[in-house]
Chains A and B, each alone.
Chain A
Amino acid sequence: MRYIAVFPTLTLAQKASRLLRNDNIAAEVVKVDSSRTRRGCSWGVAFDEEAIFSVRMIFSNKSIPEREIIKE
């Protein structure tokens, strides 16, 4: 299963995905299903569930402002 970290903009999602990839975490920028967000088009970074703790730690350390993490 994969999770998606949701970001307010595509650029922030790209930044987050590259940080994860630099840490050897497989990460893919995706467009989040509009029905799952309240703001309309949103972007996210999809990653495998086993990486979730590392992902949260990297985002926290690098002050990456994800809105939420949802199941894909």
Chain B
Amino acid sequence: MKVALALKGAEWAMNLTAARHPAFAARLAGRDRVVQLRMRDARGPARHFRFGSARVRSSPGLHGKPDVVLTFKNEATAWRIFKPGAKRGDAVNFAKNFAVEVTGDDELACWFTETLSLMRSVGWKIGVDVGHGETRYCNATNSGPVFVYVKDGKIVRVTPIDFDADDPESWTIEARGRSFSPPRRTTTTAHTLASKSMVYSKDRLLHPMKRVDFDPDGERNCANRGKSGYVRISWDEALDLVVAEIRRVKRVHGHGAIMNSHSSHHTWGNIGCYVSAFNRCMNAIGYTKMVINPDSWEGWYWGATHHYGYSMRLGAAEPYGMIEDCLNEAELIVFWSSDPESTGGSYAAFEGTLRRMFARDIGIEMVHIDPHLNYTASLLGGKWIPIVPGTDPALAHAIAHVWITEGLYDRAYVAERTTGFEKYRDYVLGVEDGVPKTPEWQAAETGVPAHTVRALARKWGTKKTYLGAGGKGTAFGGACRSATGSQWARAMVCLMAMRGLGKPGINFGNLQYGSPIDYNFYFPGYGEGGLSGDVETTGAAVQLYQRQPQLPSMNVVAQRITRNRIAEAILVGEAHGHPIDPKSINGQFMRFHYPAPGHSRVRMMYNYGGSHFGTVQESHRLADAYRSDELEFVVNQSIWHEGESRFADVILPACTNFERWDIGEWTVAGGYSHHNNGQLNHRVISIQHPCIEPLGESRSDYRIFLELMHRLGLGTYYSEGLTELDWCRSQFEASDLPGRISWEDFLARGYYVVPPEDTKASPQPNAMRWFAEGRRKDVPEPHPLPAGYGERFREGLQTMSGKIEFEASSLKMIDDPGRPPLNRYIPSWEGRGTTGLYRRYPLQLITPHPRYSFHTHTDGKDTFINDIDDHRVLVDGYYYWSVRIHPDDAAARGVAHHDLVRLYNDRGSVICAATLTRRLAPGVVQAYASSAVYDPVGAPEARIDRGGCVNTLAPTRWQTEKTSASAPNSCLIEIERWTGAAAAPAASLGEEEP
């Protein structure tokens, strides 16, 4: 009886909502359809709803020809779903046990459940009226949450968030008689402030398109990918075509024939992120998975882990408590290949900037080791040690030499907390090979004078020192991304072990991580997969999967291709790789092959986003792969027409995060960046309002995937009947937010600031202090996994000995010539020591992460960022990528400031604009990685790009044989003035109307 009343009540509620909200009434209207709800037992209550006008009508009993039927096992089941305060988990569990089933039209079934959901949400208020016709919404980006001001459906401005009296107090750290408290606002970057220009870009894809000469039933003309223009088609045509190809490829080629490809980053938001919506869609199809390097962590994952563990962080160190410790205890910070003022740690804009300036002002000395006088060095000052790229481990060994010979290392710590030191000592002293690794020895390699090394080693060896190694403090940075990247990261761990890693004032860090936020308050990171339901390849298993009821999702195809070998897989038909497997130190040894036994070669690629050309080494190969007949179908789902999208057969236009719902916490990645919010001055969790309507015909990624899923009968499985807003709420409910703020208030206000920890009342543990003091681990870090401990849970490190190992026991278990168990110096396989090559290409190109774009995001696309001449330079109407070169090197080549130059080696050429600078020593040139523009000029075999993809010049060789660690910073080139620009034709931008 209750169920019968509830079903009748649904009609009443829908019509009431329609009377109040015209948009809802319009939704009810449309084509005629009948939705029937019934019990499996025919005697139970049943009701059918007839849609087709602004009012829904329903009748008891069964309809003869319903379009959709929701069948419940019995009344009790139905009541659990319909009763007031019903738990979503119940519905999910019933679905998993087939106590609830949906049959009939998949799209209509979702439409019906979404309609029921909209009854609640249609009245929710979002945004704040700020007068002058403007409404202020909230959103979030790759460098922070923002307010978005909108007028007449158009974005007026994007600003950081100024906190008000309703937001909690900020934290304060007392240090050396002074106190530091962060400003009451979020920081931001140029690329976030350029968001409006990214949304309203002439490169936006506004309609589905098909390559003009692609005929799935006839000539596919694969060789014309990248050359031919596109013709506009309807969404139905595009989606039907993609689904037909999915079906055909699975039927004809079978298991593993479809692969994915995507960038490592995305627009911000847990729901729209590729780890979420794309992942779930691809899992439902079954695909050969693209595996990443892991990019930016390379040397740490493949090297450092073997000495001290932390595989779950891909080799990065614990990030807790370091800001208070550093400001109070440290006397020196060594920034080694560490430029947080350019890369913002990880998504954190300029949150750490004022802390570092404060540290300088209270007298903490600073040293910067980097071939480039980076922006952190030029802001903070201190000693700059320019080093020959790729030789950093030699400098590290020489520092160890000074420490050993002058007794400047922590003998007690080394004796108690480490193993294998004697062997390392003997190597450094030359007992083993007759070559003492003295400051004089290293000078020939590094270009750093011996006297400078001695001064550095003594200062470091006598002062409590923080080592900021890489942009994050550990990981992220140039030196870990070269042929010697693993050696360098390994050396960093060994040096810190000699100085007592974890003791007061002695730690990894550059004041980027370890702020006194509340680490016990949970909000899921995007790396936990959002709505994916995938516990195998995301961090969902840690918390989200238990907190967010949903259907599971899993990829059934075991075949993998590492990102850097996609071209070989397609063109040669054979490739191998080593995986990211953070679960253990040794997982990375599990070499995999393509094609995998019993799997098809890849015949179809579902490409997500459009700019891998700017991030993969020697990526002209990718263009060749796209032009191959081996790849029968390429679909690209992208927001902008750039890079890869120009090599697709069908293009599906997605909208930006400003045009759809999403939710997320600033910087929070989850997964292998656990507690990434430790960089923040304030934890900010924001709903991401749909500030404007999607431009043109673009749609949210979720919507596009759902449409595909409908065609495969997977829509109700994919969406579980939920809208994107429902999924946002699902993330909200899964977090610790309920109880702190109501959903309605959160929606209206747009953000919530998590109050910081009261560290006076409850002090926070320091990274590695527990280890230094031989105690049980006390930092709030859920790794290593239980099996990662050798003796007792949460005692010791993840290494075999449980200690820091100078001689890595895990590396004894394989034979990788580039990674001997003892970290010996092996010169770069592409550097000044490779004399034959160096004679022909006497300039070392380093390509750090970019400062003014977030990787490829916000580069190109005609954004405001183009106007920053430190990023791109306007020459003859074209925005060329900036390459930095010493005036002496420029003069020797007849190159003047902002001249066009050709950077080249055997792998290809890139046309850039020269920026003359003394921030480099002669012989080194610097250009940022991650151009979003791939713009080949001339014939494909000429391999000339004028978009600025300097990575096309970098080697594909792995750092060492048994890794998949890329080494883009080991790159020898030559430069000459370029005069061919005027003659070079622009790449086909063309959209041809039918």
| Real binding pair | no
Chain A residues engaging chain B, CB cutoff 8 angstroms: none
Chain B residues engaging chain A, CB cutoff 8 angstroms: none
